[in-house]
Amino acid sequence: MIMKKRWIFIVIFLLSIFILASCGNSKYSEMIEKVFKNSNSLVWSKEEKRQMKREKSEVRVFDKGKYIEIDFSGKDYENKPITYKRYFKSNSKQEYERADFDTKNYIKEDAKLVYHEKNGEQVKE
């Protein structure tokens, strides 16, 4: 009887840790998902659309979610490996659109990194 209670306690404990870890995954997860869900209208080529997957990308979120950078592997027009870097900016409707040249420069030089993940897993900085 004691062993059974112990196992129940261990299972409940492990489940609660798993649930807490899942809930705390990222407050930016919803924002990142918006970009990936709308990727068909946000990227240029069919190759990019096919390769741009969260589980195969490196994602950086800047300035409390206002800007998102996504790096993902693909192939160029000569079928050579290449890393695509795409930058997105949140607009007044809380939707993401491709960032312009000045915004890209701001992100690279001045924006504050608030979240980083690689292949769907958070990177501790």
At residue 89, the pLDDT reads 94
At residue 40, the pLDDT reads 63
CA 12 to chain centre: 30
Can you give the CATH number for the domain in which 68 is found?
A: 3.10.450.560
| Distance from C-alpha of 109 to C-alpha of 61, rounded to nearest angstrom | 14
Would 77 be classed as within a structural domain?
yes
Would 36 be classed as within a structural domain?
yes
From the first residue on, what is the mean pLDDT of each consecutive set of 10 residues in the chain (125 residues)?
68 57 67 82 68 89 95 85 90 89 94 94 85
| Distance from C-alpha of 65 to C-alpha of 26, rounded to nearest angstrom | 11
Residue 72 Cα distances to 64, 86, 101, angstroms: 22, 9, 19
At residue 47, the pLDDT reads 67
| Distance from C-alpha of 57 to C-alpha of 54, rounded to nearest angstrom | 5
At residue 84, the pLDDT reads 86
Domain count, the chain: 1
Would 53 be classed as within a structural domain?
yes
CA 56 to chain centre: 10
Would 5 be classed as within a structural domain?
no
At residue 24, the pLDDT reads 47
- Would the pTM of this model clear 0.75, i.e. be above it? no
Would 89 be classed as within a structural domain?
yes
Which domain, by its residues, includes 98?
24-122
